[in-house]
Amino acid sequence: MDADGLPLFPPLPGGRVVPQAGARSIARLVAGLRTAVVTVRTDEVTAMVVFVDHKPADGMALRGERRVLGADALDEIADARVDEVTVTEVTPEVASVLGSYFLPTELRALSAGLVAPEEFVRSLARPGQRGCLLVRAPEALGVVFLAGGRVVLACRQDGPAGGLEQVAPLFASPGATLWARLGSDPAAPTVEAGPAVEAGPAVEAGPAVETGPAPAPAADAIPAPPVAAPASPVVTSPLDVALAEAREVLGPHAVRVEGVLRRAEPTLDGLRAAAESLRERRVRLLSRATMELVSDRVLAALDGPACPASRP
C-alpha cells in the first residue's frame, strides 16, 4: 500500500502477462518491449515502468524512503534479476494514462455521497491537466483516468476498461470515498505565438518635453497603516452559525449555497426556512443527499446552544 493506504500500483485493465522469452538481463528484456508494463518487487526496490513504442514513458520506483518518478524509474531496476520481473502487455490507450496514478494526491477521503458523479468528474477534467480519480468502496477500487479535458478510460480493479459507467455505481456504495491525483499534462498542446504584425508607417515624434524631477513626498504625509492579518471568523449572529455549518459540511463548495442563507430574513425563523428550502434546490456538483445533509446540519446548529439570539 502507498501513503494513502491505496494499492501501490494502478490496475492494468486488459493486461496480459507475457513470458520473458529467454532474456538473460533487464537490458535485453526491455529492448524487445513495445507497449508494456514492467513490474519489479524485490527486498530492495519496488517499481513499475511503462513502455510506449519501445521507450520508457513513465513509472515509479520505491527504494527505501526514496521515490523516483517518471522514466528515470528504469534506472532503479537495472540490477534486478529477470526472474524478479513481470511483463504485462497493455494497449497504448492504457499505457498513456498509467503515470497519472503516481501524481500528487490533491483530494483525500471525500465522501462519495456528497457529490453528483458525472458533474464532479467533469469538474476535474480540465484542459492542460491530467490525473485520476480513485473511488474506494468496500467491494472494489475504481479508477477514472483523465486527460485532455475528458475521461480517457475508467475501470475497476481486476475489471475491463471502459467509460465512467464502469465506476459510477461505486459512488453509491456505503462508505465509498474519493481520492484525486492531479497534475499538469505534458502532452497538452502549447500555444504558439501568432504571426508578427508589420508595423505601419513611422510617425514623426513631436519635440521632446523636458520634465522636472519627481516631486518629493510631503513632509507631513501620513504613512499608510500596516495591514492587519485577517482575524478568525467570530460567530455573532444566527447567520454566522448557519454559514459556518454549511462550510463545515461542504468546504469550498459552500459558496454554492451561501447566497440562499444570506438572502434570508436575518432571524432564526427566516434562516430555518432558508435551510429547509435547500432540500428542494438543485445545485451543480452537489447531490440531493448532500443538500439534505446541509439542511439538517444547519437546522441543528441553529437550534444548538452555540447559536446567539436572532438579530433585531
Whether residue 216 is contained in a domain is answered as no
DSSP 278: G
Contacts of 22 (CB under 8 A, 6+ apart): none
| 30 closest CA partner among 67, 8, 59 | 59
Whether residue 257 is contained in a domain is answered as yes
Out of 143, 166, 184, a domain closes at: 184
Q: What is the domain count for the chain?
A: 3
169, 111: one domain: yes
Please indicate, yes or no, whether the overall pTM of this predicted structure exceeds 0.85. Answer: no
Whether residue 46 is contained in a domain is answered as yes
Whether residue 133 is contained in a domain is answered as yes
Please write the tens of the pLDDT for every residue from 267-307: 898 999 999 999 888 776 577 778 888 898 899 889 888 78
Whether residue 222 is contained in a domain is answered as no
Whether residue 1 is contained in a domain is answered as no
279, 265: one domain: yes
pLDDT classification of 310: cutoffs 50, 70, 90:
very low
pLDDT number for residue 55: 87
Which residues, listed in sequence order, are joined to residue 60 by a DSSP beta bridge?
Answer: 48, 69
Helix spans in 140-267 (H): 238-250, 255-262
Indicate whether 253 pLDDT > 90. Answer: no
Are the beta carbons of 69 and 76 closer than 8 angstroms?
no
Out of 54, 80, 98, a domain closes at: 98
296, 244: one domain: yes
Out of 47, 64, 98, a domain closes at: 98
277, 294: one domain: yes
77, 145: one domain: no
A 10 A CB-CB count for 228 gives: 6
The position carrying cell 508494463 is 37
172, 244: one domain: no
| 102 closest CA partner among 153, 145, 139 | 145
| Domain enclosing residue 49, as ranges | 16-98
Whether residue 85 is contained in a domain is answered as yes
pLDDT number for residue 109: 94
88, 119: one domain: no
Query: What's the mean pLDDT in 174-203?
Result: 68
A 10 A CB-CB count for 7 gives: 14
Whether residue 201 is contained in a domain is answered as no
Q: How much of the chain, in percent, has pLDDT values that exceed 90?
A: 50
Beta strand spans in 157-301 (E) = 177-184
Of the two residues 92 and 266, the one the predictor is more confident about is 92
Please write the tens of the pLDDT for every residue from 210-229: 444 444 444 444 444 444 44
90, 114: one domain: no
